[in-house]
């Protein structure tokens, strides 16, 4: 006895492989023995799954030969619509689903318009009651109940309008929906379905064919578009290449004055600097050629003989550092390049008590280095 659940599982797996193009180009399937080992089932289960696929036109079987999958272009029919919905992100999926909804809308509107002319009073009342039930189900029982009432309304309308050909088409539409209902039912229902059901009920009660022909299609399309946008949304527009660069610059830039002044291309003098190294002014004694002092040592800033122990860097040094952007006698601004961070105020040169110097070994005068 072949398990029905296992047969359905193998059938669904093979159908997905066919729909997503995972098979070889010639469409040749593996042998029953190999597939039975793949899926962990018996050969009888694989044979029954292949028989079901062959009945749906997805697989061709020949005695004594391996089964071959039919190409999607040849096997895709209204009842096999589920083949195209395995990848909701594809444009083909949305296009085919739009065609399905469009066909269902056209059939419903055409039949209801004919019912206004051909249906008897009792038939119209029956259609009104289905519309009323559909209106309530849209709010209180969305999903499966809404789908059942929609196809019931289609069948009753086809019978009331005496359209046997449309009745056959409705049966094919319902079979197609059964193959995709598990993925679409969570999105069915809501206010949009409530509105078109109520509009159809009032138009049928008044036998207003014009309202059904001109206003109902718009309400139906709004309802179908909501389902499409949730199941197979349209791909987002391509983002312009400038947008990611602007976002990277705003996220990675620190909140400092010289980075906010403008882009580096507008300040060519900054290109000559190494932004990864500290500013030269942080070690003035090394820039002037004096011996490097130990970390943490403090030099006094007292005036001795009109000379300052920590003089500012000469203008020639600024010109060498900043390039041709700094003129003689000019002060570089924040807009022209990065500036050194302000140093902490110097500590007092005398002790807290007695006024004695902190260090007697420090020099009392300063002489410029020999040129």
In terms of pTM, does the model score above 0.85?
no
Whole-number pLDDT of residue 312: 45
Domain 91-231, CATH:
1.20.120.530
Q: Which helix (H) or strand (E) holds 304?
A: strand 303-304
212: pLDDT strictly greater than 80: yes
List the domain boundaries for the chain. 4-75, 91-231
Whole-number pLDDT of residue 308: 46
Are β-strands 59-60 and 68-69 bridged in parallel, bridged antiparallel, or unpaired?
antiparallel
223: pLDDT strictly greater than 80: yes
Facing residues of 69 across strands? 59
Q: Per residue in 318-327, pLDDT tens?
A: 444 444 444 4
Dihedrals phi, psi of 129, to nearest 5 degrees: -65, -35
What value does the mean pLDDT take over residues 241-251? 44
Residues, the chain, total?
371
Helices (H), the chain: 4-19, 32-39, 43-55, 72-75, 91-118, 121-140, 144-160, 164-178, 181-184, 191-206, 209-214, 216-231, 242-252, 257-260, 268-271, 284-287, 315-322
Other CB atoms within a 10 A radius of the CB of residue 252 amount to 8
Do 19 and 84 form a contact (C-beta atoms < 8 A)?
Answer: yes
Which of 3.40.50.150, 1.20.210.10, 1.10.10.10, 3.40.50.300 would CATH assign to domain 4-75?
A: 1.10.10.10
Picking from 98-102, 151-155, 163-167, 333-337, which range would have the lowest pLDDT averaged per residue?
Answer: 333-337
Picking from 33-42, 53-62, 84-93, 289-298, which range would have the lowest pLDDT averaged per residue?
Answer: 289-298
Q: How confident is the model at residue 341 (pLDDT cuts 50, 70, 90)?
A: low
Whole-number pLDDT of residue 183: 86
Whole-number pLDDT of residue 127: 97
Half-sphere exposure of 233 (CA within 13 A, CB side): 5
């Amino acid at each position: 006895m072949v398990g029905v659940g296992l047969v359905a599982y193998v059938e669904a797996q093979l159908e997905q492989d066919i729909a997503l193009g995972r098979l070889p180009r010639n469409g040749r399937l593996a042998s029953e023995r190999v597939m039975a080992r793949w899926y962990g089932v018996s050969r009888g289960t694989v044979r029954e799954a292949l028989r079901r696929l062959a009945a749906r036109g997805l697989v061709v079987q020949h005695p004594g030969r391996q089964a071959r999958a039919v190409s999607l272009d040849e096997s895709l029919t209204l009842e096999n619509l589920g083949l195209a919905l395995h990848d909701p992100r594809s444009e083909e999926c949305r296009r085919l689903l739009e065609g399905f909804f469009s066909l269902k809308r056209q059939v419903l509107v055409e039949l209801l318009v004919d019912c206004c002319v051909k249906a008897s009073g009792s038939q119209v009342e029956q259609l009104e009651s289905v519309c009323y039930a559909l209106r309530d189900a849209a709010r209180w029982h969305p999903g499966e109940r809404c789908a059942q009432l929609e196809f019931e309304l289609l069948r009753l309308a086809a019978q009331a309008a005496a359209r046997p050909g449309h009745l056959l088409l409705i049966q094919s539409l319902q079979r197609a929906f059964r193959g995709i209902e598990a993925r679409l039912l969570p999105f069915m229902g809501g206010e949009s379905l409530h509105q078109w059901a109520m509009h159809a009920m009032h138009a049928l009660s008044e036998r207003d064919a014009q309202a059904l022909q001109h206003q109902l299609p718009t309400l139906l399309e709004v309802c179908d578009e909501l389902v499409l946008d949730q199941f197979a949304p349209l791909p987002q527009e391509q983002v312009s290449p400038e947008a990611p660069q602007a976002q990277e610059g705003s996220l990675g830039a620190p909140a400092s004055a010289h980075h906010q002044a403008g882009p580096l291309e507008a300040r060519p003098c900054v290109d000559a600097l190494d932004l990864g190294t500290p500013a030269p002014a942080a070690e003035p004694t090394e820039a002037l050629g004096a011996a490097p002092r130990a970390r943490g040592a403090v030099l006094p800033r007292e005036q001795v003989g009109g000379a300052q122990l920590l003089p500012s860097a000469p203008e020639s040094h600024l010109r060498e550092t900043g390039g041709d952007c700094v003129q003689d006698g000019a002060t570089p601004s924040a807009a022209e390049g990065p500036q050194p961070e302000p140093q902490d105020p110097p500590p007092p040169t005398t002790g807290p008590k007695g006024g004695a110097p902190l260090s007697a070994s420090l020099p009392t005068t300063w002489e410029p280095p020999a040129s």
